[in-house]
Amino acid sequence: MAMHQISLADDGYGDGVHRNIIFEREFLVMGFLTYLINGLSLGSVYALIALGYTMVYGIAKMLNFAHGDVIMIGAYLVFICTSNAGMPAIVSIVIAIGCCTALGMIIEKIAYAPLRKATNLAVLITAIGVSYFLQNVALLVFGSNPVSFTSIIPWKGLTFAGGQLKITGNAIIAISVCLVIMIVLMWFVKNTKPGQAMRAVSEDRDAAVLMGINVNATISLTFAIGSGLAAIAGALLCSSYPSLTPYTGSMPGIKAFTAAVFGGIGSIPGALLGGLLLGIIEILAKAYISSELADAIVFAVLIIVLLVKPSGILGKQIKEKV
């Protein structure tokens, strides 16, 4: 800031004007930083959802379109536990994670496992069926009116620069939860037996079977982890955007899927990178260009990235064999 002050003082403006310019600049910078942090916070939620997509895609080679609706179910569970049953936030989150994990495994067993050897498209359509099913169950149980979700994070957050830069508690928690989960997950996949089994199955399923890996259990585990993360993502998403309906999950679901592709589908750091970038682009586009066109801009950036790097930013380029 000091540099600007000197250069501005030299250009011959009156004192008041130059103070105004400095103020405006500071204001712009602070505004930009606020948007950036909001973007990171939204991006963290996308990254958590994208993890579910990317892991399932990497291991089961299917697009799980019902993933977005598991988020919605998770958010409703948290809502019931905190608002209706009056449980503390941490307990309700644990309950939601447990239920969503079970839900993910049940869905996998009933709807996807029988189709493991069928074409990809058949599984895709079944996933769409499951997505409708979850939405309509929620519609019957909770009704179509939006419920207002009270944030599970009571912390107001931090304020910097004399109140100009506010970082909400939601944003801090979202970003840190996302980072911690990402690190744990990367360690899990790299260093533990089940994690190594996951990598083996995603590399070559038939070879993994020959090595004595239980493929069915590995795929179940993947769905369990993905769905558990979806519950956390649901709670975080609704803490920042408090209106919850049975359709809440579908748009973030699609965007997180985009984020997974953006970062390179099948790659865990790719999901993090894709999610964060997507969140930042969306919030900045909303702030500086047009709030109606934000989604279009997000998708346009995705298209450009895929045209330059056809398998996403961190994706592996797979050579086609004859």
Secondary structure, 3-state, 154-166: CCCCEEEHHHCEE
Q: Pseudo-torsion of CA 89, 91, 95, 97, nearest 10°?
A: 70
Alpha-carbon gap, residue 91 to 181, rounded angstroms: 18
Figure out which of the listed residues 261, 268, 277, 283 binds another protein, where binding follows CB under 8 A.
261
Length reported for the chain = 322
Cα-to-chain-centroid distance, residue 141: 26
Asked if 137 is part of the footprint of another protein (rule: CB under 8 A), the reply reads yes
| Secondary structure E strands in 142-197 | 147-148, 158-160, 165-167
Alpha-carbon gap, residue 194 to 230, rounded angstroms: 20
Quote the least distance from Cβ 310 to another protein, whole Å: 5
Asked if 180 is part of the footprint of another protein (rule: CB under 8 A), the reply reads no
Q: Contacts with another protein in 105-134 (CB under 8 A)? A: 111, 114-115, 117-119, 121-122, 124-126, 128-130, 132-133
Q: Please, which residue, 57 or 149, has the CB nearer to another protein?
A: 57
Q: How far is CA 128 from CA 42, 78, 112, 118, in A?
A: 25, 24, 11, 16
**316's tokens:** 């592996």
Q: Please, which residue, 60 or 93, has the CB nearer to another protein?
A: 60
Q: Please, which residue, 137 or 217, has the CB nearer to another protein?
A: 137
Quote the least distance from Cβ 281 to another protein, whole Å: 13
Number of residues that bind another protein (CB under 8 A): 47
- Answer left, alpha or beta for residue 184, where phi above 0 means left and psi between -120 and 50 means alpha: alpha
**71's tokens:** 């988020």
Quote the least distance from Cβ 220 to another protein, whole Å: 17
Q: Please, which residue, 125 or 211, has the CB nearer to another protein?
A: 125
Tell me which stretch binds another protein (CB under 8 A): 12-20, 179-187, 229-237, 288-296. 288-296
Residues 6+ apart with CB under 8 A from 4: 22, 25
Asked if 243 is part of the footprint of another protein (rule: CB under 8 A), the reply reads no
Alpha-carbon gap, residue 259 to 271, rounded angstroms: 6
Figure out which of the listed residues 35, 188, 241, 299 binds another protein, where binding follows CB under 8 A.
299
Q: Please, which residue, 134 or 153, has the CB nearer to another protein?
A: 134
Decide if 224 contacts 101 (C-beta within 8 A). Answer: yes
Figure out which of the listed residues 139, 179, 183, 211 binds another protein, where binding follows CB under 8 A.
139
**Placement of tokens 């909303």 in the chain:** 286
Asked if 258 is part of the footprint of another protein (rule: CB under 8 A), the reply reads yes
Quote the least distance from Cβ 217 to another protein, whole Å: 19
Binding site for another protein (CB under 8 A): 57, 63, 65, 111, 114-115, 117-119, 121-122, 124-126, 128-130, 132-133, 135-137, 139-140, 250-251, 254, 257-258, 261, 265, 290, 292-293, 295-296, 299-300, 302-303, 306-307, 310-312, 320, 322
